[in-house]
Structure 1
Amino acid sequence: MTLTLQRNIILALLVASAAASWTVLIRQQIGMGAGMEIGSPTMGMTAPLFLAVWIVMMIAMMFPTAAPVILTFHQVQAAKRGRGGTFVSTWVFVAGYMLVWSAIGVLAFAGAAGAEMLGERMGMSTATAARIGGVLLMVAGAYQLSPLKDICLAKCRTPIGFILTSWRDGRWGAARMGIEHGAFCLGCCWLLFLALFPLGMMNVAAMAVVTLLIFAEKTLPSGDRIAKVSGVALLLYGAAVLVFPQALPTFQPAGTMMMN
């Protein structure tokens, strides 16, 4: 089997997995009338269900953006096998990458559940909750303009550079490389995912925008400038939400049920 065919098969599997995950998310949003609390951070889900939905989200949103580095990893592995070296399946690298995002899903649920509990104890109004969401959007925007964002984005924008400078042999080495790249990817994108909480964790339109933004940042020649522009946009939108809480998609007027 030629390298081109192998790469095409891997790319097709990544795209198919992402497409299937988007289908699940869209159907989940359509069926949100089955008791999901739209305005709450956990949407009324239990921890296992939240984590399952989170993993589906990560496959949908991150597989397309991680495809270049995954394909580059396979290309280097195939070249090693051609020279008689030990070949490690590319999916070991993918498993390490997904391990990072799965662990973040656990932390995301803990933070969301804690925020819900605190909000209930304090008797927080919907306007106050929306303004806190506006602050989160502004924090995400500020991070887009930060030096740490630039460092992590640079690692994600140069797949061959990451592979060559972080290479480790063997299955455990491949898993560690996946974890390391997942950590850089996390450093590049984590606050964009945090912004999904005020926008709505099951807001497919918001997820699509974030996915396109991450893909543009990582792959387009002007990706670093796109990150800066998006940061300014988030700062302005967050500031607008502070003044007009109803500008947030998850805003629920006082006295209404937080149910779809």
Structure 2
Amino acid sequence: MAPTLQRNVILALLIVIAAAAWALLVWQRIGNDADMRMEMYSPTMGMKAPLFLAVWMIMMVAMMFPTAAPMILTFHQVQAGKQGRGETFVSTWVFVAGYLLVWGVMGILAFAGAAGSEMLAEHVGLSTATAARIGGALLMIVGAYQLSPLKDLCLAKCRTPVGFILTSWRDGQWGAVRMGLEHGLFCLGCCWLLFLALFPLGIMNVAAMAVVTLLVFAEKTRPSGERIAKVSGVALLLYGTAVLVFPQALPTFQPADAMMMN
């Protein structure tokens, strides 16, 4: 198969897999009854760890495959060149597996944090307004991170696939896995707090997921990506501040009487 055709096939597969993941998320969101939709706004979505992790990975495929596509295609281009010279070829999907492993570990940590926060909230007896204000504070932390030097460092690595290849190349199967892990860690450093922002916004809030996906894609691929990150940071700081004053501004806010009825 010609290298250009191989590249197009990989790109098409990434698009199809991401689209299928989005379709599953939308179907799950609109296909449940009202009681289930109430649970989907809780940190764990009312799920046990295995199901939560499965949904988390579907979310990561839907949201991160479009943004990781330039790096994945660059890795394949280098491997295709090596194959053309008669050198050892490593499948691009080995690199993708290492990349997804990082997000899988993040999903385990996210579930532990979500379950712990639910237990703490139940034990302390937080009011809905207090819980919403905690969410507002988290949004402010996300906004502050968007303006931080660490965000700039990780974003720079994610914005330059060729630079990553030149500085982090490893040969062989395990080398590809290691590269996937390393790029996944940079990607995690760039985006992890944006994903944590989904907890106060609604972990299965499809509109919020779409906004985060577009934001991450713009940060990584647009010439003004770094400026976009800064603007989003200021917007999150302002929104978080507004939630502290008006907790009803948070999509997951539930009035006390509505909670009692449910």
Q: Which amino acid aligns with 1:196?
A: L
Where in structure 1 do 4 or more consecutive aligned residues deviate above 6 Å? none
Instruction: State the shift of 1:54 in Å.
Output: 0.2
The match for 1:221 is 223
Moved more, 140-149 or 26-35: 26-35
CA–CA separation in structure 2 for the residues paired with 1:259 and 1:204: 25
5+ residue gaps in structure 2?
Answer: none
Question: Which residue among 233, 256, 259 is the counterpart of 1:257?
Answer: 259
The answer to whether 1:14 aligns with 2:14 is yes
Q: 1:174 to 1:259 in 2, by over 3 A?
A: farther
Question: Which residue among 164, 169, 172 is the counterpart of 1:170?
Answer: 172
Instruction: State the shift of 1:55 in Å.
Output: 0.3
Question: Which residue among 60, 63, 75 is the counterpart of 2:62?
Answer: 60
Q: Percent identity between the aligned chains?
A: 80
Q: Which amino acid aligns with 1:10?
A: I
Question: Which residue among 244, 247, 256 is the counterpart of 2:249?
Answer: 247
List aligned pairs for 1:39-118, cutoff 5 A: 39-118=41-120
Q: Which structure shows the bigger proportion of residues in helix conformation? A: 2
Q: 1:258 to 1:23 in 2, by over 3 A?
A: farther
TM-score if structure 2 supplies the norm length? Answer: 0.97
* 3-state DSSP of counterpart to 2:258: coil
CA–CA separation in structure 2 for the residues paired with 1:250 and 1:63: 27
Moved more, 55-64 or 34-43: 34-43
Alpha carbons 1:35, 1:259 under 8 Å: kept: no
The answer to whether 1:119 aligns with 2:133 is no
Moved more, 7-16 or 33-42: 33-42
Q: Which amino acid aligns with 1:31?
A: G
5+ residue gaps in structure 1?
Answer: none
Alpha carbons 1:153, 1:217 under 8 Å: kept: yes
Q: Which amino acid aligns with 1:181?
A: H
The match for 2:149 is 147
CA–CA separation in structure 1 for the residues paired with 2:252 and 2:94: 38
Instruction: State the shift of 1:2 in Å.
Output: 1.5
Instruction: State the shift of 1:31 in Å.
Output: 2.3
Q: Which amino acid aligns with 1:124?
A: L
CA–CA separation in structure 2 for the residues paired with 1:77 and 1:135: 45
The match for 1:3 is 3
Q: Which amino acid aligns with 2:99?
A: Y
Q: Which amino acid aligns with 2:59?
A: M
TM-score if structure 1 supplies the norm length? Answer: 0.98
Q: Which amino acid aligns with 1:129?
A: A
CA–CA separation in structure 2 for the residues paired with 1:189 and 1:86: 33
Alpha carbons 1:168, 1:177 under 8 Å: kept: yes
The match for 1:35 is 36
Alpha carbons 1:39, 1:258 under 8 Å: kept: no
Aligned length: 260
CA–CA separation in structure 1 for the residues paired with 2:45 and 2:260: 9
Q: 1:104 to 1:259 in 2, by over 3 A?
A: farther
CA–CA separation in structure 2 for the residues paired with 1:116 and 1:236: 26
Describe the superposition over 1:185-240 as per-residue Cα deviations: whole angstroms up to 9, x where unpaired.
Answer: 00000000010000000000000000000000000000000000000000000000
